[in-house]
Amino acid sequence: DIVIVRELTSGSYFGEPRGIFKEGNERVGINTHRYTESEIERAARSAFELARRRSNRVCSMEKANVMEAGVLWRDVVTEVHQADYADVELSHMYADNGAMQLVRAPKQFDVILTDNLFGDILSDCAAMLTGSLGMLPSASLGAPMENGRPKALYEPVHGSAPDIAGQGKANPTACVLSFAMALRYSFDLGTEATRIETAVEKVLADGVRTADLLQADGDTAVSTTQMGDAIVAALTTSL
């Protein structure tokens, strides 16, 4: 049970200058890994607030050993922690070691805080701990609105998979769990979110599998609708 808090609006994907330029007789591709203190602070506060609602642990990942942006990231995260979140356990790890540790011993992590580029890589690495991208929910959370709720977009981690559209093969679990995240983080309905997550766990424990989760050649896959119906049945049973 890991949550990766990935900063989404800056870093290598948006920094300037960027582009493909002519340099002498050859082309050069440039992307700028750029972060401001306020961008890092915003992501750090999100991670610490989330940790307080979970296991009170944050591991921040960057490359402070070779990147100045990583040095600033570590400094700002530490400053925010010392100023306002000393009750939360904070550790730091280089992102490449973090990828290895996710594979080696994933249970050591609870909330992982990282930047845009490393978050992209680490979240896909963590995805396969579950066996399939079809299992993973996600939330893009912004600043709180006047009602106190964050601006938010909840969706499965995976893409739309047009190659299997209409074939009944898609795993609906990530979509269902994304709704559970919406209940927990936008509507403060943690009990209801847990009921949905528990229903999903029961269905998986009972051996119900869509095609992406089959473990052996002799296993039989259920359809998208059948998987959804099984989750609803498990949820109804828990009422």
Catalytic residues: 13, 63, 96, 120, 124
Rounded Cα distance, 220 and 215, in Å? 10
Length of the chain: 239
Q: Which residues pair with 21 in a beta bridge?
A: 28
Those residues with Cβ within 8 angstroms of residue 45's Cβ, 6 or more apart along the chain or in another chain: 80, 84, 85
DSSP state of 223: P
Residue that the structure tokens 């890589």 belong to: 121
Rounded Cα distance, 235 and 191, in Å? 13
